């Protein structure tokens, strides 16, 4: 909890306004709110909201469970009721409140600036026919699908703007080794289909998942499916940048004079609102770098009545970042998770990724995946690079467990 951590720092005599500011950004509340939390904790010794007379207080344990349930108060109440009926010694002590009382208690917490720390977006199923069509259309140069069929295309990798200029800065996909192919896995196909649908609906999509799972590749594939007349822009964001810097990044993405408009708030806002009138796509990768107050600025642009531009927000931990900006999160049409490779997929996908794995035994590949890679495609690309280097120097070496062990040993503790 934020307050307990701040109190721990305070006990050492090193608490400063910087600590409070960082805590406020982490919790998605104002600095004044955090100072109030600290004052209440010092005065009462309580790290949670005090209950009203005759009322009900949501404990940290219940709040954490509510976060896991995606903020579904009714589901939390069903759990409490079920626990009370089946096991009197459940974690929650005391009589179970009514659903209405629980809803009021949660509403009071939210009005006091308490935020849910996690988001559990729903994952809609993809119709098989839609998935097959999207996968067939993913004709990236040097790409193979999971059936092993090579794809080719003479069209640009990303759609272009009407004047023929590139609408988005090309995103590098590091394959780390010559002769490797981008593999259009089922996971990437599902993500591409979801992104394409959201852009067609002119909505907002959040693409999230652990680092190295293929989010960038999925976004690139989806953008390539868009009509060529639809402009695609990318805003390059820095870490925890202030609002003027975010505004400048957006202006640059739309080819607007960022230097002249950055410090002219009204003029810059009007220019961006006008830019958002054009049907198109604005891609923001690594959205987890943006703090909650600046994310709300994106919400204001997306909420403008004239907005026709879709937002594609992507990044490792993007769903947790948006959870700290509930106004923007509530407007996200599609939450698309890009998961790791399933164990059964690993051998076939790796053989499509690079020819050096053609002679490797399934058991050896699965052992390396279980002990190190754990279904992470980027990690497997690194392992392939090191294995390729060994084979280049010693062509008589086979792609066996010894080679895999040597390649894996070069990745360190955090592959």
Q: Is residue 117 part of a domain?
A: no
The pLDDT tens digits for 326-378 are 999 999 999 999 999 999 999 998 988 888 898 889 999 999 999 889 889 88
Q: Looking at the chain, how many residues does it have? A: 415
Q: What pLDDT score does 93 carry?
A: 59
Q: Is residue 348 part of a domain?
A: yes
Q: What pLDDT score does 79 carry?
A: 86
User: For the chain, how many structural domains are there in total?
Assistant: 3
Q: Is residue 53 part of a domain?
A: yes
Tell whether 48 and 69 lie within a shared domain: yes
Collect all residues with Cβ–Cβ distance below 8 Å to 261 and sequence separation of at least 6. Answer: 247, 251, 267, 268, 271
Q: Is residue 122 part of a domain?
A: no
Q: Contact, 191 vs 154, CB < 8 A?
A: no
Torsion of CA 80, 84, 89, 91, to 10 degrees: 10
| Domain finish residue from 337, 372, 390 | 337
Tell whether 219 and 315 lie within a shared domain: yes
| Domain finish residue from 291, 309, 337 | 337
Q: What pLDDT score does 9 carry?
A: 74
The pLDDT tens digits for 99-126 are 888 888 887 776 665 656 543 333 444 4
Q: What pLDDT score does 205 carry?
A: 95
Q: What pLDDT score does 283 carry?
A: 94
Tell whether 136 and 234 lie within a shared domain: yes
Domain with 290 in it: what CATH number? 3.40.50.300
Tell whether 359 and 285 lie within a shared domain: no
Tell whether 145 and 36 lie within a shared domain: no
Cβ neighbours of 363 (radius 10 Å): 10
Distance CA 398, CA 415 (A): 23
Take residue 1 and report the two structure tokens written for it: 């909890």
> Sheet harboring 204-208: ordered strands across?
232-234, 280-285, 309-315, 204-208, 334-337
Q: Is residue 116 part of a domain?
A: no
Tell whether 75 and 204 lie within a shared domain: no
Take residue 172 and report the two structure tokens written for it: 């590098």
Classify residue 287 by burial, with Cβ atoms within 10 Å: 0-12, 13-18, 19+.
buried
Closest CA to 182 of 152, 154, 205, 206: 152
Q: What pLDDT score does 359 carry?
A: 87
Tell whether 319 and 365 lie within a shared domain: no
Quote the domain boundaries for residue 255: 128-337
| Domain finish residue from 317, 337, 357 | 337
Classify residue 181 by burial, with Cβ atoms within 10 Å: 0-12, 13-18, 19+.
middle
Q: Contact, 214 vs 187, CB < 8 A?
A: yes
Take residue 199 and report the two structure tokens written for it: 């852009």
Q: What pLDDT score does 222 carry?
A: 79
Q: Is residue 413 part of a domain?
A: no
Tell whether 176 and 278 lie within a shared domain: yes
Classify residue 369 by burial, with Cβ atoms within 10 Å: 0-12, 13-18, 19+.
buried
Q: Contact, 206 vs 319, CB < 8 A?
A: yes
Tell whether 95 and 188 lie within a shared domain: no
Tell whether 158 and 212 lie within a shared domain: yes
Q: Is residue 137 part of a domain?
A: yes
Q: Chunk the chain into consecutive blocks of 10 residues (it has 415) and report each block's average pLDDT, rounded to whole numbers.
A: 72 76 62 78 64 62 78 84 54 72 79 52 43 40 52 38 39 68 83 88 92 85 76 88 89 86 80 91 92 90 92 93 92 93 90 88 92 89 89 80 88 73
Tell whether 355 and 325 lie within a shared domain: no
Tell whether 211 and 242 lie within a shared domain: yes
Q: Is residue 120 part of a domain?
A: no
Q: Contact, 246 vs 375, CB < 8 A?
A: no
């Amino acid at each position: 909890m934020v307050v307990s951590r701040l109190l721990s720092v305070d006990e050492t005599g090193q608490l400063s306004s910087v600590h409070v500011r960082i805590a406020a950004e982490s919790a998605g509340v104002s600095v004044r709110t955090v100072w109030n939390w600290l004052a209440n904790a010092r005065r009462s010794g309580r790290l949670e909201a005090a209950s009203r007379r005759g009322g009900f207080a949501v404990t940290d344990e219940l709040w954490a469970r509510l976060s896991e349930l995606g903020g579904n108060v009714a589901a939390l109440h069903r759990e409490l009721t079920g626990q009370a009926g089946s096991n009197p010694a459940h974690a929650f002590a005391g009589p179970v409140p009514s659903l209405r009382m629980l809803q009021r208690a949660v509403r009071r917490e939210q009005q006091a600036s308490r935020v849910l720390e996690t988001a559990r977006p729903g994952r809609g199923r993809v119709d098989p026919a839609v998935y097959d069509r999207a996968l067939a259309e993913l004709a990236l140069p040097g790409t193979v699908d999971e059936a092993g069929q090579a794809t080719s295309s003479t069209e640009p990798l990303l759609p272009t703007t009407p004047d023929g200029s590139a609408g988005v800065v090309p995103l590098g996909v590091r394959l780390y080794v010559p002769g490797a192919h981008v593999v259009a896995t089922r996971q990437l196909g599902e993500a591409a289909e979801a992104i394409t649908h959201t852009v067609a609906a002119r909505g907002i999509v959040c693409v999230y998942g652990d680092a190295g799972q293929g989010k960038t590749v999925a976004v690139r594939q989806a953008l390539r499916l868009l009509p060529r007349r639809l402009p695609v822009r990318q805003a390059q964001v820095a870490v925890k940048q202030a609002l003027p810097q975010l505004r400048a990044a957006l202006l640059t993405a739309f080819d607007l004079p960022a230097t002249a408009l950055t410090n002219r708030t009204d003029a810059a806002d009007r220019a961006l609102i006008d830019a958002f009138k054009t049907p198109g796509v604005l891609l923001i990768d690594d959205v987890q770098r943006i703090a909650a107050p600046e994310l709300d600025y994106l919400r204001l642009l997306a909420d403008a009545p004239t907005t026709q531009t879709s937002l594609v927000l992507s990044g490792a931990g993007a769903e947790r970042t948006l959870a700290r900006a509930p106004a923007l999160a509530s407007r996200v049409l599609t939450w698309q998770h890009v998961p790791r490779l399933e164990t059964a997929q690993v051998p076939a996908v790796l053989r499509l990724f690079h020819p050096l794995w053609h002679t490797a035994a399934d058991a050896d590949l699965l052992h390396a995946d279980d002990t190190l890679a754990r279904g992470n495609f980027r990690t497997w690309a690194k392992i392939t690079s090191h294995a390729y280097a060994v084979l280049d120097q010693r062509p008589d070496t086979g792609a066996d467990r010894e080679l895999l062990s040597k390649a894996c040993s070069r990745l360190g503790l955090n592959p």
